[in-house]
Structure 1
Amino acid sequence: MEMKNIFNILVDIKEARSIIQPIVTQNDSVVFILEVMENGVPFDLTGATTVSLANTRRDNNVVLTQGTKVGNKATFILNSSETAIAGSVVAMAQFYDVNGRVSTLSFPYQVVVDPTGNGYIPSENEATLIEIVLNDGPLIIQSAEDAAIYANEQGDYALQVATDNETRYLNAVSSVASRNSAYPNPSHGDTVRVTNISTSFRYVLGTGWVVTDVYNPTVIDNINQQLAQVSKLGEVIDLSKWGIKNDGTNARATTDGINNALQWYSSNDYRHVLLPSGTFLIDSVNESGTAKSRNIDTGIKIPSNMIFEMSSDTILKVESNASASYACIYLSKTQNNITIIGGQIHGDRKTHDYTGDPTHSTHEYGFGIYLYGASDIIIDRVTIKELTGDGIILFSPGLINYDVNNPYAPPSRIRISGCVIDSSRRNNISITACDQVIVENCQILNAGINDGIHDGTAPRYGIDLEGYGEGSIDYETPLKIIIRNNKLVGNVNTSVGNFNGYEVVITENFSDNIISYGFGTDTIISNNVFKRIDNLKIAIGSLGVSEGKDGNHVTITGNTINGFNVGVDIRGKNVTVMGNNISNVNTSILCFQAEEVLISGNIAWKCAVDAVKILQSKFVSLIGNSLRDTLFGVRIEQSSTNIIINNNSVDEYGTGMKITGGSCTIKGNTFNQGNYTTKSYHLIFDTNVVVLIENNVFKRPGSYVIFGTGGSGTGRARIIKNVIEDFTGSSPVFFSTIGKYEFISNEIISGLTSGIGTAVYLVSGINNALIIGNKFYATTSHVLTNAINTSLASNSKIISNVCLNGGITSAAGDVLNGNIVI
């Protein structure tokens, strides 16, 4: 049999479990077989493509162990690196597929030192035990007898030391007199603390009471208080004592019983209270409240400074009602420093009576957890579903600088982690006011869906950041929010909407719908993955600049977007879009009514319509992007001005760039139409545009490489130092409409092998064009019909051109000077 130390370990991806801690020896052959669960149910690992175990050793180095999996079990064979450092090791199994990663909760194991060094294995030449006994037996026996005598002597000495230092602690007394009366016949080693003089005494036989310690009484009192607190952690609520039903009946008595129990535990300094398994029917309506405020001071009210924990199968079920508003758990501004762990909250969405409260017919104010000004709150691993309004809402009882008797008190320092929030009728999470919130590692699912019984109600967002304001005045502000590492799927209208929040970071999430910075200020949207298969919706969206603000100050970076209608929709002012990867969309980046925008270092490919489209915008810089496999590389329309398009790579396109109206600079770009199915223009502009086209390279184009057409001729086109390589069409540079053209110091290389061709062609009506210092030659033996043809135009200035392929056909009145035609 192969010698292996095999440990079978039960782990869970959501629910903490106690296990017998494995103890392994360095250099042993160790195998961990992990049975993976999700809330106690076997977790299928079939779809996992990679299985690994992250081992964090005592020296804080992390060693990865690759594993195998079958069903819900994963097997890991530890190597010497995992056990190289003796001491505690914390391990976490991680499972990957094409869409992401799932991790188990961590578990510890202990590494003990190998007593033989680097792993002792006896050799075949070493003597056996019986050989040693036969050869060296007498000497070994004598040594053993000597050792026994020495051990007996040392044992007698140790016994005497123990007797001399024997100590038995007796109950403390208030004075020396009390000591003498309480312990009139002390024994050797009795030790007692006398509190009025802060002194400890020990009784020594033959000597009497002697002082052993003078202590600090405050320290002793603090320790006793801490020990008392420790003894009050993790108290399970006694349901029968408080009249609480866990069978889904008697909502009023159950709600009162839970609240009374929590208050009693709080008053008696219990800090960690557990609600056991079962279904608890909760009366979530404040009947004395107005129709819109019946969710105030209702449901479960957890006292301050308490951990309220529920088992994974504990359900707080909202009793069906007809109120437009309710709250299952309510935390006001006087309730702080609270942690809610585990359990489930079920709303009454499917059984609610929507005919009640006709003045508030939307019934959108039924909440799972209502933070009404509460602060220092943790909501951890709670499942919340099917509320008539929101799963969780953060709201302030007052407004900013509005009413001194009801001051603004936003929920502050809130953490929502590891939760599943599903199928809320309005939003899964709403934040109207806050200061410092983290939402992380949650599943935010199906907000606002039509469940077959009742439709959702607007806005139907996964997470809605939306404070109240009028004009440029904020009365509520969602402030300093981090939304990270969440799964946002199935939310009807939006995954995350930052309508008007400040300092919002949205990072490392998975989303199948829009994440919008709205009118928000100082927003970062980074390293998210967006995935759809229907080419609908916008992945990253916007609305504009909030009234009274100087800009949005938004950064969008490192996101991966696939399968949407629009990848990034930019609006507002001061926006950076950098380093994103966008594919299989209709339009990769849309810039509409925006200004002060930087679009840089992005990859846009497989775009059915546009890689980049700019409309009614100004001061937009498009720099260093890779645009590929798209009908239009860049389109600039509707009087967009001060547009810079520099150092981009545009490949495999129908039309490389199209500019209609406005002004732009196009420098240092590379165009390669490649084998795109439907080929058209490379760079086309109308004659209303003020455009500088400089130092661009066009590789192996057909006709109409640079094409001026349309418009009234009020613009100006300056085309300088461009290279057109191996063109194969009849007219690579074609000016077909009245306008102002300057064609200077360009290099045009023909790749034609047959047929007619003119490198630069001007049509009737064009006046005073400048064609100066250009070079025309070919890589084939075929000769162009014309290098330059201005015969239909008038007053052209044709100066210092070198025509090594094709001649010059000019009009009467043209100025020709210094040209070389060979």
Structure 2
Amino acid sequence: MSAAEKLQPLYYFVQPNSWGISDSEQNPEATTKGFNDALKYASQQAFPRVFIPKGVYSIDAVGEDERSPEYGGGISVPGNMGIVMHPEAIFKISPNRSQGYSCFYIGQVENVILSGGQIIGDRDQHDYYVPDGSIRKTHEWGFGIHIHGSQNVEIDNVRVSECTGDNIWIAAKGMMNWSTEYIPARSVTVRRCILKRGRRNNLATNGCEGLLVENNDIEEAGGSEIGPQLGIDLEGYGDKGIKYDHPYKLRIVGNRFSKNGRGAFRAHTSGKVIAKGNFSDDVFSYGFSTDVTIKDNHIINESDTPKEYGIDSIGVSSTESGNRANISGNTISGFKTGICARGKGITVADNTLENITAVGIHAYLSDDVHISDNRIDSNCIHFQVLRSKDVKIDNNKSKGAIDKYTLKLMNAASVSINGNKTEGYGGLYCESSTSVRAFHNEFNLTGAGYGVYWGKDCDVHLDGNWIIGARGTPIAGNADQFVNSVHGNRIIDCKAIIGVHLVGGRAHSLSENIVKFNRSTDQGYGFYLSGTDGARLIRNDVQVVNDKKIIHSFYTEKATNTSLMQNTYSGGTVKTAAGDTLRE
């Protein structure tokens, strides 16, 4: 360090009277000019830090560009400068009727720190006048802090509230794949701030490469007619395979979200996003984004009314091949749907869900989904797959479905269900679904629902499942269109009239299953086939564990060409049709 550098003071202390600055909320134009002159002087003199004292400062935040008055308005922060504000340095945006404004404008500079102080917008005093012929009509471009194509920016311990747009807006200069120059904001950090009542959002970006939002309180966004009304909105944009705005490499860590109008957090069309360790009372969404991790968050709605989604999504962007989203380790409570996984390449693992009223984990319009090691305790459908394919559901535990099936498949294809333990009214229910494989699951039935049911247009194969306490039929299939197999299943403490019931179809295979009846009255059928042709029953066993009687252990009289081989039974008789093959 040179002698001159040693003598250079670290701070330039702004003296309001020296620059025509009012510290009593007067003269917004002169006050704003005074701050800009003071910062320009400090920059020219190479002061690395500027200190702004206590005071209430009225700021003329409207820029001179009539079309985009949010550019260059308010206090323009030079590069290579840290501004430290007294905790009671309050910057109030002078009420105006402009479509846009910026209290602090950080435009195409680098190495900026903004620390301390309070910024208060004019949301409740704003004149929302829209002149005839105006292109802009919503007044949603009023910003407390506007970071525009700048890099290495840190916003620390600032309170920002009441802006007509976003309290903090982090934007690229220009658009990708467009005729204009494109300069994204880069390496931006927002930490220890309080962001409250932003009319549009509390914090948003359309083009930032490298963003850290950490340890902030983010509250009460929205409440107006405009959207999106989110705590944080990462709002990229693409169309027909072309990216125009694309936030990238973003971390949302350890924040506290409360009472934001339409949700806490959304990564609309972004890439490489991590949302970890946050506390929220409303939805997190990965939208159309790719390479997203939503991990270890507490998303808990404690109001009396369930909200729609704990974690939501939209699908795959037209510019991408998949979402590659990882949703893991979250605690979710108080929603209609806990997790809705749309898109392609989704992992949903090790989440805990409680107080869900409709669906716990919903794979919807999705492809390549893995749902594993989750815990659900709610009266809802625990796992639902709708209009999706290539879905794997394994090693989950769920209970509490008093009047709902624990698993439900509709218009699904290539679904593997393995090693789950569920408790509820019914087990697995399938409609219009193909290539369904359910093996080594444990379905504990507390109601009168089926253990496993599938409709006539389903292709289902069961292997090694335990179905316990069934009052409705443990295994029931309307098997018209596909060849189905039922192998090695254990039906225990069966109180239903029929243990295994297949209707329709041909060449089904039922082998090495065990049905143990524990009914309170006489009557019952172990295996009941109706309208099937060429089915094979091999080495199945039907037992009655109390003194009640069943009618037939194996009943195939209403089927044709059934083969029964090496089956055993302790109650009832075998009732076959002409043309059946019976080998005991």
TM-score, reference length from structure 1: 0.69
1:39 is matched with none
Q: Deviations over 1:742-765 (max 9, x none)?
A: 2111111222353111111123x3
Query: C-alpha displacement at 1:223, in angstroms?
Result: 4.2
Matches within 5 A, 1:218-233: 222-229=1-8, 232-233=9-10
Q: Deviations over 1:499-520 (max 9, x none)?
A: 1100000011111111111110
| Aligned partner of residue 319 in structure 2, secondary structure | coil
Does 2:244 align with 1:475? yes
Does 2:216 align with 1:442? yes
Change (3 A) 1:398 1:779: same
Structure-2 separation of matches of 1:318 and 1:625: 53
Q: Is the 8 A contact 1:324 1:357 kept in 2?
A: no
| Aligned partner of residue 559 in structure 2, secondary structure | coil
Q: Is the 8 A contact 2:111 2:153 kept in 1?
A: yes
Alignment counterpart, residue 374 of structure 2, candidates 602, 607, 616: 602
1:19 is matched with none
Structure-1 separation of matches of 2:131 and 2:563: 81
Q: Is the 8 A contact 1:726 1:778 kept in 2?
A: no
Give the aligned CA root-mean-square deviation in angstroms. Answer: 1.5
Matches within 5 A, 1:513-662: 513-532=282-301, 533=303, 534-586=305-357, 587-606=359-378, 608-630=379-401, 631-638=404-411, 640-651=412-423, 653-662=424-433
1:666 is matched with 438
Q: Deviations over 1:624-683 (max 9, x none)?
A: 000211111100002x100000000011x111110111220000001111xx3x432111
Does 2:547 align with 1:781? yes
Q: Is the 8 A contact 1:688 1:716 kept in 2?
A: no
Q: Which runs of 5+ in 1 are unaligned?
A: 1-221, 450-454
Does 2:158 align with 1:367? no
Q: Is the 8 A contact 2:239 2:318 kept in 1?
A: no
Structure-2 separation of matches of 1:468 and 1:655: 43
2:53 is matched with 276
Query: C-alpha displacement at 1:729, in angstroms?
Result: 2.1
Does 2:508 align with 1:732? no
Change (3 A) 1:615 1:773: same
Matches within 5 A, 1:197-596: 222-229=1-8, 232-286=9-63, 288-291=64-67, 293-333=68-108, 335-358=109-132, 359=134, 360-403=136-179, 406-449=180-223, 455-532=224-301, 533=303, 534-586=305-357, 587-596=359-368
Structure-1 separation of matches of 2:543 and 2:551: 12
Q: Deviations over 1:244-283 (max 9, x none)?
A: 0011110010000011011111111211111111110000
| Aligned partner of residue 98 in structure 2, secondary structure | coil
| Aligned partner of residue 16 in structure 2, secondary structure | coil
Q: Is the 8 A contact 1:753 1:781 kept in 2?
A: no
| Aligned partner of residue 564 in structure 1, secondary structure | strand
Query: C-alpha displacement at 1:470, in angstroms?
Result: 2.6
Change (3 A) 1:299 1:626: same
Q: Deviations over 1:694-747 (max 9, x none)?
A: 0001123224000113x7x11222100111112122212122455653211111
Q: Is the 8 A contact 1:426 1:456 kept in 2?
A: no
Q: Is the 8 A contact 1:544 1:552 kept in 2?
A: yes
Query: C-alpha displacement at 1:399, in angstroms?
Result: 2.1
| Aligned partner of residue 266 in structure 1, secondary structure | helix
| Aligned partner of residue 335 in structure 2, secondary structure | coil
2:518 is matched with 751
Q: Deviations over 1:519-563 (max 9, x none)?
A: 101000000001113222201111101113211011000000011
Q: Is the 8 A contact 1:472 1:547 kept in 2?
A: yes
Structure-2 separation of matches of 1:650 and 1:595: 24
> How many residue pairs end up in the alignment?
576
2:577 is matched with 811
Query: C-alpha displacement at 1:580, in angstroms?
Result: 0.3
Q: Is the 8 A contact 2:50 2:81 kept in 1?
A: yes
Q: Is the 8 A contact 2:482 2:505 kept in 1?
A: no
Q: Which runs of 5+ in 2 are unaligned?
A: none
Task: Flag the structure with higher helix content.
Answer: 1
Q: Is the 8 A contact 2:335 2:355 kept in 1?
A: yes
Q: Is the 8 A contact 1:738 1:767 kept in 2?
A: yes
Structure-1 separation of matches of 2:319 and 2:105: 35
Query: C-alpha displacement at 1:473, in angstroms?
Result: 0.9
Change (3 A) 1:265 1:357: farther
Query: C-alpha displacement at 1:369, in angstroms?
Result: 0.6
Q: Deviations over 1:290-340 (max 9, x none)?
A: 33x11111110111111101111111111111110111110111x210100
Q: Is the 8 A contact 1:702 1:732 kept in 2?
A: no
Alignment counterpart, residue 716 of structure 1, candidates 475, 478, 483: 483
| Aligned partner of residue 6 in structure 2, secondary structure | helix
2:451 is matched with 682
Answer 1 or 2: higher relative contact order, Cα 8 Å, separation at least 6.
2
1:95 is matched with none
Structure 2 counterpart of 1:671, one-letter code: F
Q: Deviations over 1:22-59 (max 9, x none)?
A: xxxxxxxxxxxxxxxxxxxxxxxxxxxxxxxxxxxxxx
Query: C-alpha displacement at 1:400, in angstroms?
Result: 2.3
| Aligned partner of residue 240 in structure 1, secondary structure | helix
Q: Is the 8 A contact 2:405 2:449 kept in 1?
A: no
Larger Rg: 1
Q: Deviations over 1:782-815 (max 9, x none)?
A: 3422111112222221111112322201111211
Structure 2 counterpart of 1:426, one-letter code: R
Structure-2 separation of matches of 1:620 and 1:794: 35
Task: Flag the structure with higher strand content.
Answer: 2
Matches within 5 A, 1:101-250: 222-229=1-8, 232-250=9-27
TM-score, reference length from structure 2: 0.96
| Aligned partner of residue 447 in structure 1, secondary structure | coil
Query: C-alpha displacement at 1:356, in angstroms?
Result: 4.0
Structure-1 separation of matches of 2:259 and 2:12: 39
| Aligned partner of residue 75 in structure 2, secondary structure | coil
Structure 1 counterpart of 2:100, one-letter code: S
Structure-2 separation of matches of 1:495 and 1:357: 33
Change (3 A) 1:310 1:357: farther
| Aligned partner of residue 518 in structure 1, secondary structure | coil
Q: Which moved more, 1:393-402 or 1:437-446?
A: 393-402
Does 2:460 align with 1:691? yes
Structure 1 counterpart of 2:168, one-letter code: I
